[in-house]
Amino acid sequence: MQIALPTGREIGVFDSGVGGFTVLRELQALLPTARLRYLADTAYAPYGGRSPDEIRARSFAITEHLIACGAEMIVVACNTATAHAIEALRARWPALPFVGTEPGIKPAVAATRIGRIGLLATPATAASERLRALIARHIGDRQVVVQGCAGVVDHIEAGDLDSPALRTLVQRHCEPLLAAGVDTALLGCTHYPLIEPLWQAALGIEVKLLRIETAVARRALDLWISSAESPSLEIETSGDPDVLRHWIVRVLGWREPQVQQWRSSVRASGR
């Protein structure tokens, strides 16, 4: 495993791939002087179709690397990794602050007018015990329709944000929410805001869409003790740096991003 020497206090941020960039943008806005290191585990994306054990193994390996680079806080910018790994991460590093990313069930309960809520998530998040506990804690007498959206992240990782095939897939995943008559829908994966117009078009303008990235960044702001160090951003990937660089330029519009490759000795099984 490639280990970088610590260069100063950093906030480490990771996701299965590119979805966590939606959280990273909010962190940059709220913490403009912070040193940020983002790791996209694109070689193993998406996490949504992997087992809980695989997700935890990848999360542990990534966290070890980020700490070795100087991270003094970890933002798990991935709903699936949060659902299956964050408690194990906190148990392994109890002195390190971790900020997770979870569907905003409580804000959705406050936002719904008719008591019917939809949740669009990866299959792994949709099946997680942590999500079931979160819903049980906050849902009360409201109805929540949880839809596992297989295949959507694959399109986004490939840079496909508006093809007919993706539109058809989004429409199919939204059908159970439409059948239930929801008036509020949660985007339960950090990838999903990157295609927010497609979700809105499929659900209709009368359905309110909620996302969670700003709340995640605000929680990091609450926990982070700022320093006098100069701000910086390091981007790493377990996949091909050129592919991720091209994605960043084309989708996010960032100019000339520097992307480094990171290799871990921890492997996940093929599918």
Per domain, the residue ranges of the chain are 10-101+214-261, 105-211
pLDDT on residue 255: 84
Q: Is the pLDDT of residue 155 over 80?
A: yes
Taking the C-alpha atoms of residue 177 and residue 262, their distance in angstroms, rounded to an integer, is 39
43-70 pLDDT, tens digit each: 999 999 899 999 999 999 999 999 999 9
The CATH number that domain 10-101+214-261 falls under is 3.40.50.1860
Structure tokens at 11: 């906030």
Q: Answer yes or no: are the C-beta atoms of 38 and 69 closer than 8 Å.
A: no
* Class in CATH terms, 105-211: alpha beta
Instruction: Look at the chain and count its residues.
Output: 271
**Is 16 known to sit in a ligand binding site?**
yes
Q: How many CA atoms lie within 13 A of 84 on its CB side?
A: 26
On the question of a common fold for 10-101+214-261 and 105-211, the answer reads: yes
Q: Is the pLDDT of residue 96 over 80?
A: yes
Residue with tokens 């927010």: 196
Query: Taking all residues of the chain, what is their mean pLDDT, rounded to a whole number?
Result: 92
> pTM score, two decimals?
0.90
List, by residue number, the catalytic residues.
78, 189
**Is 246 known to sit in a ligand binding site?**
no
Q: Answer yes or no: are the C-beta atoms of 215 and 104 closer than 8 Å.
A: yes
**Is 48 known to sit in a ligand binding site?**
yes
